[in-house]
Amino acid sequence: MSRPSLKEGVALSLPLKIAGLVFWGLMSIGIVLVVVSIDILENDLRKHYDNTDFQTYTLTRELFEQTTDVSAKKLKASLKKIIESTGAVGLIVITENFGQVNVGSISEAHQVKTIYFSFKSTKQKIAYSREVTLKIFQIPVTNVLNQQKKQLITAMLFVLIVFGLLLQWILKKLLSEPIQQMVDAAQAFSLGEDVKFDDKRNDEFGYLSRFINKALTTITKRQDELTHQAAHDKLTGLYNRHEFDIRLNQFLELAKTEGLHSTLCYMDLDQFKIINDTCGHVAGDELLKQISHSLKSEVRESDFIARLGGDEFAVLFQGCIEEDAIRLATKLLKVVEQFHFTWEGKVFHIGVSIGVASITSDIESATDILGLADVACYTAKDKGRNQIHIYQPEDRELKRKQGEMLWASQIRQALKEDSFALYQQLIIPVNPESSLKKHYEILLRIPDEKGNLISPVNFIAAAELYGLMTNIDEWVVRNCFDWMIKNKSTMNNIEQISINLSGQSLTSHKFLTTIIELIENSDLQCDKICFEITETNIISNFESAIDFIYSLKSHGCKFSLDDFGSGMSSFSYLKTLNVDYLKIDGSYVHNIANNPIDRAMVEAVNKIGHAMEIQTIAEYVEDTEILHVLTEIGVDYAQGEGIASPSPLNDLCK
């Protein structure tokens, strides 16, 4: 790339400004000097003319007073000598005896001064005229001044032109050329060229160049450090995620344009979290440093290894088909298997799960290929860890994993954009003559890429797998509480609002603290809040569930045990749980009218609940026949499509 120069329009205005200031300053001074000189010249010239007139008059007068032999011819000759000596150009002398005598150049264009005088001859015997008219002719003052002005202006212009050329040459040598050299060097440096300013000069530019060269050396060194830091992971020294994304796109572009077949190897360390939690983050960081060094020593120079974050790594095998990639990935697997990490006298072993995916021209984007390798890595973990799994388009397990990853991404996006939607489903008293009021269960929906609202049944597994359930529960709780506060008049006609919670939330102290803070910082009617927890989640997190229930019931909240009866072991825990409602598992309810065993199960659960003064709710009530059987059994509440379909929460305000 050619860089611009002074000739191509890079303006160096400093020398021009200096030259302009000096030139016009001198021009102004010159004009003032010319004006003053002309004024002085005019005064001197007028004095000279006055002096000439006076001398001419004096000599003419003496001529007439001392002449003893006066004749016209002699008088004329004498007058010529007078004008030659005084500098007058012409004379006219008018006397009584000689009349008018003209001498020299007589013209109307000349300047004329007329003098009248009388005289007395000292020679008594000589006749003379007593009265004389003298006219003295001289070149006009303005003619002389104009000629002098031209000469002065011409001389001044000549001097200024010579001085301007000299000044331009001096400025070019002293300013323009050094500045241009510095500008060229600066432009070359900005384009990434390795340049130095001319520091051999002994003037100010040389001093400045030496200073700038030192600064450029420091900047270049710092720039190299920053460039390295921007592309490398600070902890391990491997390339970082940003640089990996750039290289992955380059590899994909080569696959599309040149048909270069490469392979992505996605690695996730096994048992790293155990070491990190047991020995601390310092030990975890040291392990990552050591394992990174071991992995880097095994890859080829043409390959690219990066740390993507945490304990995740990736290797790009350039120009490598799948068979060769498997061989290389196997080497990396063995490196990790043979790696022994020692910390405070203890030796730890780790493994690695590796997902392999080919980078081919039919892959649409770098995100797609990374997702495929990531899914393959998770599949390797599911199959027992410390092994390699290769992505195949027809692999069902991979497709399931990929679907879960897509759901996880969509859930994160919905949380970020606050795009979840709250729905509700009516729960009615089975006996219409009872004093029990209506309940509503809060349901969640997530929009898909077409804007359709999807039930949690489709994404709950992915949310649990990727640890997103607590985030979802917190979103539901916050938004449900906000709705209850904003719609107090509607809440006056509602007995209970039920909110489902996951097992992950039961074990989160932070989540419990968040709920308590929301309750204490608002005027919520806590006796109208009911949290639903599934039987399975309580059993698997029993101690945490007990603490969770106790903490929120102390604030007035109620609890419902959902899907009760799905696991018969829960009967032994029911005495310990301080719940307010039992929701009978819908798998027994939906066929209760036709299956005596299902009816018996519902009756048993209902009797146990009532014996413990716990109200019962039947799910999956799909028609009036089921509702009639529930009435006979004495179940307190019913919920299902036969009662009411789910609808937006705001419909309750209509």
SS3 100: strand
Which amino acid is located at 286 in the chain?
E
Given a contact cutoff of 8 angstroms between Cβ atoms, the answer to whether 606 and 635 are in contact is: yes
- For residue 607, which of 567, 578, 565 has the smallest C-alpha distance? 565
CA 130 vs CA 66, 92, 98, 116, 266: distances in Å: 13, 16, 12, 11, 137
For residue 378, what are the contacts with CB-CB under 8 A and spacing of at least 6? Answer: 268, 353, 355, 401, 405
Given a contact cutoff of 8 angstroms between Cβ atoms, the answer to whether 326 and 348 are in contact is: no
Given a contact cutoff of 8 angstroms between Cβ atoms, the answer to whether 574 and 608 are in contact is: yes
SS3 315: strand
Cα torsion 74, 76, 77, 80 to 10°: value is: 160
Given a contact cutoff of 8 angstroms between Cβ atoms, the answer to whether 267 and 238 are in contact is: no
SS (H, E, C) 460-526: HHHHHHCCCHHHHHHHHHHHHHHHHHHCHHHHCCCCEEEEEECHHHHCCHHHHHHHHHHHHCCCCCH
- For residue 229, which of 250, 248, 243 has the smallest C-alpha distance? 243
SS3 229: helix
For residue 75, what are the contacts with CB-CB under 8 A and spacing of at least 6? Answer: 63, 67, 93, 98, 101
Given a contact cutoff of 8 angstroms between Cβ atoms, the answer to whether 386 and 337 are in contact is: yes
Q: Give kind and range of the element (H or E) at residue 631.
A: helix 624-633
Other Cβ atoms less than 10 A from the Cβ of 192: the count is 9
For the record, the structure tokens of 556 come out as: 């007035």
Residue 558, class by beta-carbon neighbours within 10 Å (0-12 exposed, 13-18 middle, 19+ buried)? buried
Residue with tokens 């101690």: 543
Other Cβ atoms less than 10 A from the Cβ of 408: the count is 17
CA 620 vs CA 339, 563, 592: distances in Å: 55, 11, 10
Residue with tokens 């985030």: 471
Given a contact cutoff of 8 angstroms between Cβ atoms, the answer to whether 140 and 110 are in contact is: yes
Largest CA distance in the chain: 187
Given a contact cutoff of 8 angstroms between Cβ atoms, the answer to whether 565 and 601 are in contact is: yes
Other Cβ atoms less than 10 A from the Cβ of 597: the count is 10
Q: Which residues are catalytic?
A: 311
CA atoms within a 13 Å half-sphere pointing along the CA-CB vector of 404: 19
